[in-house]
Structure 1
Amino acid sequence: MLLKSKSITCLRFSSLFPIFSCLYNSNPRVPCHQKQAEQAVVQREMVVAAMSSSAGEAANLVLQVLRGRWFMIFASCLMMSAAGATYMFGIYSPSIKSALGYDQQTLNTLSFFKDLGANVGVISGLIAEVTPPWFVLFLGASLNFCGYFMIWLAVTKRIAQPKLWQMCLYICIGANSQTFVNTGSLVTCVRSFPESRGIVLGLLKGFTGLSGAIFTQLYYAIYGQNPEGLILLIAWLPSLISYVFLPFVRVLRNKQELKAFYSILYVTIALAGYLMVVIIVQPRVHFTAAGYKTSAAVVVTLLLLPLVIIFRQEIPKLKKSPIPSYIPSEAKEAEKQQEALPAPPASPLSPPPAANGSTPASTGAVSCLKKMFKSPDRGEDYTILQALVSIDMMVLFVATICGIGGTLTAIDNLGQIGQSLGYQKQSIGTFVSLISIWNFAGRVLAGFVSEIFLAKYKFPRPLMLSCVLLLSCAGHLLIAFAIPGSLYFASIILGLCFGAQWPLLFAIISELFGLKYYSTLFNFAAVASPIGSYILNVRVAGYLYDQEGLKQRGGLPTHGELTCLGSHCYRLSFIIIAGATFLGFLVSLILVMRTRKFYKGDIYAKFRQANNMEMAAQEVPASEVTGGHDARNGLPDSRKG
């Protein structure tokens, strides 16, 4: 009995207090230290197993997030938030003008090539048709750094002063990177969420609209009040972001979920609200270097906050469908059998090949021409040529030239407009920065509101585009007549209207002409922007501004910077621009009449059907995939009878 009681005591206390195993050793033949070692090994194995399980779950969660489509949305948002360098031209253009001795018309010529590069994205669209999104983004990041870095070298006199055509080439190359980001990330997200394309376009283009205000805070924190530093920041930061996140951008189709979009939208609105407060406060309160750095830290925190939303979206999916530890041999055999199946026979609808294996060139040319001018129904996949020669695309192109060309002219000349009207330098900086906020608001409102109105009330997007064009006429007239304080209201109206036109334009193109060649078609439509900018900015606003400046100097020719002061400097220019925008409004009504029946129907029906079929194909029972084995541990499934 005594020996038995000692053994029980040892068993009870040895696991908690190993020293008791030495005092009450029930088996003298087994050394005390050997029993302690065995128990320590067991405990270590249990701790290692628990830690391995936790580490495995954490690793699975991270992989689930990185592979998921919501992280793809997050990566695209970050890249789009750094893709708006062209909208900050009003901040760093005075440095280019003074450093290189340009007059206003020369500066507007440089601005035209900036707009040309930022909107002529046909090359990036064609590249995206045959390459994956990551390659498109890689090219864009490289072009961004090369173009803006050369501009920074020229402005800081680190190289000999380039000729005008060289500066135009540099800024065109740097701005053209924006089209690669749009094609690589924006088009990919639209294809991943076709039923929510308005929301996706509004959200992503909204981040582009905020980029001006975001970069302003970052460059204050890094470079202080040095405009040349802003050019350098534009050169390296967007490229770095694209290089880091480009592997995660690809097409991912799944169930459409709007709740996460609205959550990201709320965070974005908070970011926009904070930026607006900072923009208003900074000119009135003296900020130290620490204050600028704190402001930039808050901006970066809000930019990264959607990661919390993404993890909350992915955790339930990980619990429902845990990642299998290995693929059983039966599943591998099924995959091999599937790969070994013969290719399906040729469709009977496809034309038979000629006797020599090729179609005659004359027959192919005739059929190509017939197909080009025989457009499919609206909403079906047009070919590139079918879309380009369609009346709908031509009408949309003309309306874009008038609308976006006019608002872009106002944004690019906002600094000069404020200077001619006698506003202080800090107030001019406030105008330019607030344009980014209103630009963001216009893009988000146009994307989300047009999607809601289309789903609930069948309100056509072309009609909303017409309303935006009509509203922008009021903003141009406010600048033309220069009422005291009118520049504040004009910047709000034109920022909203400029931002609203882009998601509406891109959504209309995707709805009318399909998504098959969307990357090329939406880039073609964007070409209308530099055309409108050249006509209205260079040939109208720049020319008339210089003429007014020469009148103030008595008509004497001058070399270098030419400045005009007074409300008359831009009056005639913006009266002409307001008339051109009203013409665009009238032209857009033609598209409204032509597409009214199309928008009364269910334009997303085929995408819902395709998505449901894809989801049904993916929801295969685990027993069928793993050959009757449990997917989690590889054991036979005991639930089968």
Structure 2
Amino acid sequence: MVGQSRKWMILIATTWIQAFTGTNFDFSSYSSTLKSVLGISQLQLNYLSVASDMGKAFGWCCGVSLMCLPLWVVLFMAAFLGVFGYGVQWLVIKQAITLPYFLVFVLCLVAGCSICWFNTVCFVLCIRNFPTNRALALSLTISFNGVSAALYTLIANAINPDDETLYLFLNALVPLLASGLALVPILRQPPLQLLSTDTTSWDSFVFFVLNVLAVFTGLYLLLFNSLSSKASRARILLGGALILLLLPLCLPGIVCGRSWACRTVHTPAFCLEGPSFSSFDPDDFDQLHKELIGNDRNNNSSSVNPFSETNKEGLFGMIMEKGRLTVLGEEHPARLLVRRLDFWLYYVAYFCGGTIGLVYSNNLGQIAQSLGYYSQISAIVTLYSSFSFFGRLLSAAPDFMREYVFTANCVYSVYKLASTSPAIVRLFACKLPLLNKLYFARTGWLAIAVVPTPIAFFLLAASGGEAALLTSTAMIGLSSGFIFAAAVSITSELFGPNSVSVNHNILITNIPIGSLLYGLLAALVYDSNVKSSNQENLLEEAMVCMGRDCYQQTFIWWGCISLLGLISSLLLFLRTRPAYYGYQRNRSRAQVS
């Protein structure tokens, strides 16, 4: 049971790492000052944000390093990449040293690599220590990456609310300190062990409690961050945030205490199983994969396909039927992946739905400045970060709902076979259709998550008011946060768990591409609307555009592009829905039998 408590310590350490290493989220907090010091245009500033996103293209380097080096060494390599990348930028923005634009671009690239390396280390920790509930572990830890901007705002305001250059200094130092705190649990990783049903159920219950605690943490940061403009209040609020982050440390003691009670007291009150929220997991395929695939393929020949009768003819019918996935979890090597229409629909949905939200966050500083809300940049960035956090937490909803519907179907099947209680059978027969309607394929959740993005962009294009800016920022943060967190699970389900590391890296190549193209569009529109020399001199030599025209055309274009992402995600859902429902149906049959 010591190993059980250690794995929870590792989970807590992983959340700390994620909470303090989302340093790309606070780019907008200092981008205007960086632009002023370097004396560059909006287009050149966009290239710096692209460089940070390009770091994700080098994530494979971390994977190779993990094959050759201990995990803690790779963790500190990521930390020192950040120290170098952000630390030298801080010296530049403080005007202690002067560097050409190209070297600043390289520094942004190095800083972006550090973020990707931290994420990879956290993914590996979750996968190694939570083989049964890895989807829940990933969604929980990834969500804390979204609160980084809010935490850094509190820390910066607690030190000096008027110094925007502090963000770069904190970006360099805080991840190194967080890595040091996480070192002891990482060095004491427990060996992999088989878990009993009771332990698995209890773990799922603990994840549910941790998600509730995470919601309280996000609400605390969202509601009270606006009160941190004074250093004294910021210090108090920062203390409260740190207490909330440290509160899960009680978990190892609770786990050990429960184990002792189960061994010595032997009462149901201590040994009661928590609700079973075991998530969809790649390990499920090791036990049921062959049977489910065989059942799916047999059922495909006998069951009625909702598209085969009504959509055999026409372009839409061809899109629905041609080469669509019929089973989940089938392995797709890279050469097969790029020939799948489902993959490209997924790629476009991510490219036009999630990545565009990330580019919006990179431009938040200039957007707020152009609309006359420069003094509220930190609050607006915190709003985006907090709702991105909530979106990431919501990505666990399909796992909880899947198990709820799955358990109900199993109970119904058992009672039906036993035929001992006709009243209960009739009750389930009435309720199951409703429960099955509540069940939703994860690709359907993806489509729902994209919906707020085009609405938000068109709202921004129609109104330049403060309410529209705040509402749209929250909607885009919620949408993109869900997409980023759900992507790993969707890739695993659609294209195979064993190929997910390669396939997901292929998928996220859209991030630097989108950052370049969307940012280029925004920068060209922005620079074209700089009308007078007065605007050019507002921030020393940097060109500054003021007014709604600076981004209005960009918002219209981004709204239309995100509509394309919505259409693509809907097509992906319609094409993959039979595979999801087939998996759920056959899984219930296999468990009952």
Alpha-carbon deviation of 1:223? 4.5
Aligned partner of 2:242 in structure 1 is 300
CA displacement 1:135-183 (0-9 Å, x = unmatched): 4323222211121111112112222x21222111111111211211221
Matched residue, 1:104? 42
Q: CA separation in 2, counterparts of 1:451 and 1:64? A: 25
Please list the CA deviations of residues 501-535 of structure 1 after superposition, one character each: whole Å capped at 9, or x if unmatched: 11221210122233334333323322212211111
CA contact (8 A) 1:206 1:440 kept: yes
Q: Which piece of structure 1 moves more, 114-123 or 429-438? A: 114-123
Q: Does 1:596 align with 2:557?
A: no
Pair 1:451 & 2:399 matched: yes
In structure 1, give the amino acid aligned to 2:228.
Q
- For residue 320 of structure 1, report the CA deviation from its aligned partner: 5.9
Contact 1:121 1:527 (8 Å CA) reproduced: no
Structure 2, unmatched stretches of 5+, are: 265-322, 406-437
Verify the 8 A CA contact 1:376 1:382 in the aligned structure 2.
Answer: no
Deviations 1:333-383 (A, max 9, x none): xxxxxxxxxxxxxxxxxxxxxxxxxxxxxxxxxxxxxxxx9x996304444
Whichever residue aligns with residue 471 of structure 2, its letter is: F
> Which residue is equivalent to 1:398?
348
Cα distance in 2 for residues equivalent to 1:573 and 1:397: 22
What residue is the counterpart of 1:436 in the other structure?
A: 385
Per-residue deviation, 1:492: 1.1
d(CA) in 2 for partners of 1:552, 1:522: 46
For 2:54, the equivalent position in structure 1 comes to: 116
Shift of 1:555: 12
Q: Where do residues 373-392 of structure 1 align in structure 2 (5 Å cutoff)? A: 378-392=328-342
Q: What amino acid does structure 2 have at the position aligned with 1:74? A: I
Tell me the distance in 1 between the aligned counterparts of 2:449 and 2:89: 35
Q: 1:507 aligns with which of 465, 489, 507?
A: 489
Per the TM alignment, residue 236 of structure 1 is displaced from its structure 2 partner at its CA by: 1.4
Amino acid at match of 2:59: G
Q: Is the 8 A contact 2:452 2:479 kept in 1?
A: yes
Cα displacement (A) at 1:193: 3.6
Work out whether residues 56 and 112 of structure 2, in 8 Å CA contact, stay in contact via their aligned partners in 1. yes
Separation in 1, partners of 2:341, 2:65: 26
Checking the alignment, whether the CA contact within 8 Å between 1:134 and 1:247 is kept in structure 2 is no
- Report the AA paired with residue 354 of structure 2: I
Q: Secondary structure at the match of 2:396?
A: helix
Which residue identity does 2:185 align to in structure 1?
F
**Which entry has the higher C-alpha Rg, 1 or 2?**
1
State the SS of the aligned residue for 2:165.
Answer: helix
Indicate yes or no: 2:513 matched with 1:531: yes
- 2:155 maps to 218
Aligned 8 A contact 1:407 1:494 in 2:
yes
Correspondence list, 1:235-634, <5 A:
235-246=172-183, 248-249=185-186, 252=192, 254=195, 255-256=199-200, 257-283=203-229, 287=230, 289-317=231-259, 378-423=328-373, 425-445=374-394, 447-455=395-403, 456=405, 457-484=438-465, 485-537=467-519, 539-549=520-530, 551-553=531-533, 560-602=541-583
SS at 1:589 equivalent: helix
CA distance in 2, matches of 1:82, 1:587: 34
Contact 1:120 1:527 in 2 (8 A): no
The separation in 1 between residues aligned to 2:92 and 2:207, in whole angstroms, is 42
Corresponding residue number in structure 2 for 1:227: 164
Alignment partners' CA distance in 2, 1:277 and 1:299: 12
Corresponding residue SS for 2:543: coil
Per the TM alignment, residue 595 of structure 1 is displaced from its structure 2 partner at its CA by: 1.7
1:84 aligns with 2:22: yes
Give the whole-Å Cα distance in 2 for the aligned partners of 1:83 and 1:294.
22
Structure 2 SS opposite 1:566: coil
TM-score by length of 1: 0.70
Which residue in the other structure is 1:45 paired with? none
Question: Partners of 1:439 and 1:155 in 2: how far apart?
Answer: 28
- Could you report, residue by residue, the CA deviation over 1:483-504 in whole angstroms, capped at 9, with x for unpaired residues? 4321011111111111111122
Amino acid at match of 2:240: V
Is contact 1:384-1:521 (8 Å) kept?
A: yes
Report how far residue 439 of structure 1 moved.
Answer: 0.8
What are the Cα deviations for residues 175-227 of structure 1, in whole angstroms up to 9, with x where unaligned?
21121122111243145445544433331121000111011112222344322
Deviations 1:228-280 (A, max 9, x none): 22211110111222244246346846343221112222222222222122223
Q: SS in structure 2 opposite 1:515?
A: coil
Is residue 205 of structure 1 aligned with residue 155 of structure 2? no
Give the whole-Å Cα distance in 2 for the aligned partners of 1:248 and 1:555. Answer: 53
Give, as a single letter, the amino acid of the residue that structure 2 aligns with 1:594. R
The aligned residue for residue 350 of structure 1 is none
Among residues 31, 36, 54, which one is paired with 1:93 in the alignment?
A: 31
Instruction: Give the Cα–Cα distance (whole angstroms) in 2 for the partners of residues 176 and 508 of structure 1.
Output: 24
For this pair of structures, how many residues does the alignment match?
Answer: 489
CA distance in 2, matches of 1:203, 1:604: 27
User: Cα deviation per residue 1:434-481 (whole Å; 9 max; x = unaligned)?
Assistant: 111111111111x22222333324411111111222221001112222
**Inter-partner Cα distance in structure 2 for 1:275 and 1:462:** 30
Structure 2: how far apart are the matches of 1:316 and 1:429?
A: 43
Q: Please say if residues 82 and 211 of structure 1, whose CA atoms lie closer than 8 Å, have aligned partners that are also in contact.
A: yes
Q: Normalising by the residue count of structure 2, what TM-score does the alignment of the two structures yield?
A: 0.75
**CA–CA separation in structure 2 for the residues paired with 1:503 and 1:180:** 16
Question: What residue ranges of structure 1 are gaps of 5+ in the alignment?
Answer: 1-60, 323-372, 611-641
Give the 3 Å change call, closer, same or farther, for CA 515–126 of structure 1 in structure 2: farther
Structure 1 residue aligned with 2:117:
180
Counterpart residue number, 2:295: none
Instruction: Report Cα offsets for 1:294-336 as digits up to 9, x if no partner.
Output: 22211111110001123212333356679xxxxxxxxxxxxxx
Shift of 1:414: 1.5
Asked whether the equivalents of residues 342 and 572 of structure 2 are also in contact (C-alpha less than 8 Å), the reply is yes
Q: 1:162 to 1:556 in 2, by over 3 A?
A: closer
- The 8 Å contact of residues 71 and 310 in structure 1, kept in 2 or not, is answered as yes
Name the amino acid aligned to 1:240: L
Q: Is the 8 A contact 1:133 1:184 kept in 2?
A: yes
5 Å-filtered alignment, 1:136-151, equals: 136-151=74-89
What is the match of residue 8 of structure 2? 70
1:92-117 deviation per Cα after TM superposition (whole angstroms, max 9, x unaligned): 11221122112211111111111221
What is the identity, as a one-letter code, of the residue corresponding to 1:578? G
